[in-house]
Structure 1
Amino acid sequence: MRIHLAYITIVLLWATTPLAIKWSGEGPGFLFGVTGRMAIGTVCLLLMLGLYRQGLAWHRKALQTYLAVAVQIYGSMLVVYWAAQFIPSGWVSVIYGLLPLLTALLSAIWLKERSLKLGNLLAYILGISGLWAMFGSALQLGHAAVLGIIGVLASAFLQAVSSVWVKRIDAKIPALSQVAGGLLLSMPVYLLTWSEFDGHWPTEISLTSLASIVYLGVIATPVGFVLYYYLLIHQSAAKVALITLVSPVMALLLGHAVNHEPLTMKVITGIMLILGALLTHEFFDRLTTGFKQGYLPNNTSD
Structure 2
Amino acid sequence: MRIPLAYISIILIWATTPLAIKWSGEGPGFLFGVAGRMSIGAACVVTLLLLMRQRLAWHRQARLTYLAVALQIYGSMLAVYWAAQFIPSGWISVIFGLSPLITALLSAIWLRERSLTPGKLLSYGFGIGGLTIMFGSALQFGPEAVLGIAGVLVSAFLQSASAVWVQRIQAKLPALSQVAGGLLLAVPAYWLTWWLTDGQWPASLPPASLASIVYLGVIATTIGFVLYYYVLTHLAATRVALITLLSPVLALMLGHTVNHEPLTMKIATGTALILAALFMHEYFDRIVGYLVRKTTAKRLRSSA
One-letter identity of the residue aligned with 1:289: G
Question: 2:97 touches 2:278 (CA, 8 Å); kept in 1?
Answer: no
Greater shift, 265-274 or 158-167, is seen at 265-274
Q: State the shift of 1:82 in Å.
A: 1.0
Within a 5 Å distance, the mapping from 1:262-281 to structure 2 comes to 262-281=262-281
TM-score by length of 2: 0.92
Deviation per CA, 1:223-242: give whole Å up to 9, x if none: 11111111221111122112
Aligned mates of 1:172, 1:192 — CA distance in 2: 30
Aligned mates of 1:261, 1:289 — CA distance in 2: 41
Q: State the shift of 1:203 in Å.
A: 2.5
Q: State the shift of 1:2 in Å.
A: 2.0
Aligned mates of 1:136, 1:225 — CA distance in 2: 33
Instruction: Give yes or no for the alignment of 1:286 onto 2:286.
Output: yes
Instruction: Give yes or no for the alignment of 1:87 onto 2:87.
Output: yes
User: Which 4+ stretches in 1 moved above 4 angstroms?
Assistant: 297-302
| Change beyond 3 A, Cα 1:99–1:278 | closer
Task: Indicate the percent of aligned positions where both proteins have the same amino acid.
Answer: 69
Residue 111 of structure 1 aligns with which residue?
111
| Change beyond 3 A, Cα 1:66–1:298 | farther
Residue 35 of structure 2 aligns with which residue?
35
Instruction: Give yes or no for the alignment of 1:180 onto 2:180.
Output: yes
One-letter identity of the residue aligned with 1:246: L
Aligned mates of 1:135, 1:2 — CA distance in 2: 38
Question: 1:100 touches 1:124 (CA, 8 Å); kept in 2?
Answer: no
One-letter identity of the residue aligned with 1:200: Q
Q: State the shift of 1:135 in Å.
A: 4.7
One-letter identity of the residue aligned with 1:263: L
In structure 2, runs of 5+ residues without a counterpart are none
Aligned mates of 1:148, 1:285 — CA distance in 2: 33
Residue 240 of structure 1 aligns with which residue?
240
One-letter identity of the residue aligned with 2:15: A
| Change beyond 3 A, Cα 1:262–1:135 | farther
Residue 169 of structure 2 aligns with which residue?
169
Deviation per CA, 1:68-97: give whole Å up to 9, x if none: 000011111111111111111111111111
Question: 2:12 touches 2:247 (CA, 8 Å); kept in 1?
Answer: yes
| Change beyond 3 A, Cα 1:100–1:136 | farther
Q: State the shift of 1:282 in Å.
A: 4.4
Residue 44 of structure 1 aligns with which residue?
44
Q: State the shift of 1:299 in Å.
A: 9.5
Question: 1:94 touches 1:131 (CA, 8 Å); kept in 2?
Answer: no
Instruction: Give yes or no for the alignment of 1:195 onto 2:199.
Output: no
One-letter identity of the residue aligned with 1:138: A
> What is the CA RMSD across the aligned residues, in angstroms?
2.0
One-letter identity of the residue aligned with 1:74: Y
Residue 259 of structure 1 aligns with which residue?
259
| Change beyond 3 A, Cα 1:276–1:194 | closer
Greater shift, 142-151 or 122-131, is seen at 122-131
In structure 1, runs of 5+ residues without a counterpart are none
Aligned mates of 2:217, 2:122 — CA distance in 1: 37
Q: State the shift of 1:159 in Å.
A: 0.9
Q: State the shift of 1:14 in Å.
A: 0.9
Task: Report the secondary structure of 2:12's partner residue.
Answer: helix
Task: Report the secondary structure of 1:141's partner residue.
Answer: coil
Task: Report the secondary structure of 1:116's partner residue.
Answer: coil
TM-score by length of 1: 0.93
Question: 2:97 touches 2:275 (CA, 8 Å); kept in 1?
Answer: no
How many residues were matched structurally?
A: 302
